Structure 1
């Protein structure tokens, strides 16, 4: 029987129309298969959060990531992502992080026992990252440890300030001055790795009001002012470097007035030596983290 004639239909039957119809039928299925196979790589996160325990929110429920990093699902990064409607958040904040841990792994510990390592925080940055937040400096300057050493149970005790001032030189001020060029290097590194990102650098909040509130927060008035003054000095260094790099600085001291560790539990954003809510001592509580997110979001939305 000739290939070109069908006995019943008695009309030519060629191979070419059949081939066209077969290919046309296969195209949608092939496209669907390609769609299922893509993407070749995961989409880059829109928002990357970097920083230390002030940003990670230790002991605020719920925990996410390595337990030793003290990273909370209600830290300011998660709250900010929710406020801004950011779909992709990569939060690599970690308790104990210093500037060196932006480019080096961080050894973690829990209750004094080794608890693995956290990768360099800069590993989370890509050329497609659109927003970066950074809170860093407290561990470079050792301010939390200094504050812990300033507990004074007697109103007539020796001021802690004198322990850190030798020959008229403020050792904590020296640490802060040494931290500033390290921060400059960190900000350069962020810009190199995420050239299109909006970069937000936060300061640290108001931990204790002028004159303190001994014995509720057991530091002498002179030490309360010196400790917060040291925080303010560090904030000034952070603000200078943010401005020098064309990045956004967020002041958290001014809006924290009336919300320091001396206040009632319902009003405070920062806890004292004995927390009154689920948070680490001398760190923001959930209300503080939520308000930090509100403040940051307000500034981002005001300046576009």
Structure 2
């Protein structure tokens, strides 16, 4: 007699978002042109659950690139991520919004301008095109548009908005842990705080949508901590094509653990067999 478990489809996870989802610089890379690691949080979670994974994340993506706009990254063209969204999906993870606010672009610009060598390097690079400051409400609306589009084909899916790991925590020191001064550090912390508000607004606006509070839970693992979950900056990293100010391998493991713990507490989900009856409460 066949095992009942063998007759149950595997849990299907779809990962959407930008570099904090994709994992540039974390080896090995699953798709180098997208800056997508084999050890990003979605990949780690899928392996832990023995789940099917469709990873559509691309470094540098805005939420509009997830929803409807094509993306060009280092000369490589990517269709909008939702254009590759499969049917019959159980779980969706989304990490994004930072590029809509110029978050990491601002961090890198301030960092390079803090070094003599950085100013020289910047002279030979294309001028950074940072978006106009986006409000929490406008970024939340972009998240909601993505959620609504997903619901058209996967109405019973559970969606997890996975916040960014904290780069600059309470104890991160200007001029010590980062090259720039206290005023610029505060500016960037404000961007991160605005992004958190956007996640909160989007999560509250739709049912079966949960925010994973990564930012608060990683405060003690920011730059300057004993065990940072994010990379700092060094000019050697640029030569090695690593990703300054992005999650490191430990950070991705931590985020995967946070997601796993949330899934365990989700009513109606059997982590070994998927969603019984296809309905999530």
TM-score using structure 2 length: 0.77
* Distance in 1 of aligned mates of 2:101 and 2:246: 16
Counterpart position of 1:262: 224
* Distance in 2 of aligned mates of 1:233 and 1:261: 20
Cα offset, 1:183, TM superposition: 1.8
The range that moved more, 125-134 or 88-97, is 125-134
1:98 corresponds, among 62, 82, 85, to 62
> Unaligned 5+ residue runs, structure 2?
1-8, 116-131, 268-281
* Distance in 1 of aligned mates of 2:234 and 2:224: 11
Distance 1:45 1:294, change over 3 A: closer
1:130 corresponds, among 81, 90, 94, to 90
Counterpart position of 1:225: 186
CA contact (8 A) 2:71 2:80 kept: no
Give the secondary-structure state (helix, strand or coil) at the position aligned to 1:288.
helix
Cα offset, 1:211, TM superposition: 6.0
Cα offset, 1:219, TM superposition: 2.2
- CA shift digits 1:208-255 (9 cap, x unpaired): 123632233112223323312321211111121112112011011221
* Distance in 1 of aligned mates of 2:71 and 2:205: 31
Q: Trace 1:174-189 onto structure 2 (pairs within 5 A).
A: 174-189=134-149
Counterpart position of 1:55: 21
RMSD: 2.4
The range that moved more, 239-248 or 225-234, is 225-234
* Bigger radius of gyration among the two: 1
Q: How many residues align?
A: 237
> Unaligned 5+ residue runs, structure 1?
1-42, 155-170
Counterpart position of 2:72: 108
* Distance in 2 of aligned mates of 1:212 and 1:219: 12
TM-score using structure 1 length: 0.71
CA contact (8 A) 2:61 2:71 kept: no
